[in-house]
Amino acid sequence: MKVYIGNLPFSATEEELRTKFGAHGTLTEVALIADRDTGRPRGFGFVTFETADGAKAAIAALNGTEMGGRNLKVNEAQDRPKGGGGGGGGRDRY
């Protein structure tokens, strides 16, 4: 189960997240999200737990807690909406 972590301090590291969230269950993935163009941290990330129980325990224990002077927002990650397909537009040509 994937968990979203928002309001992360920009100094946060994957190792810090692994330690903090790993205390609640086995992690299979840790990802800090960086800006595509600048490479700077965007202040949020994701951790994936092996089990839903570990994820739920982490959400209950860590949502609203402080890290680096910021209160974390921790909840179940939502699937990204599928993109619209764009395209088309314009007039018909005969």
Every domain of the chain and the residues it spans: 2-76
Class of domain 2-76: alpha beta
Find out whether 27 and 19 touch, Cβ atoms under 8 Å.
no
pLDDT digit string, tens, across residues 38-86 = 999 999 999 999 999 999 999 999 999 999 999 999 999 998 777 655 5
C-alpha 20/C-alpha 17 separation (Å) is 5
C-alpha 7/C-alpha 41 separation (Å) is 11
Find out whether 89 and 18 touch, Cβ atoms under 8 Å.
no
C-alpha 20/C-alpha 18 separation (Å) is 6
| pTM beyond 0.95 | no
**At a CB cut-off of 8 Å and minimum separation 6, what does 24 contact?**
49, 54, 55, 57, 58, 61, 62
Residue 89 has pLDDT above 60, yes or no: no
**Nearest-CA neighbor of 8 among 77, 76, 59, 74?**
74
Query: Residue 80: what pLDDT?
Result: 76
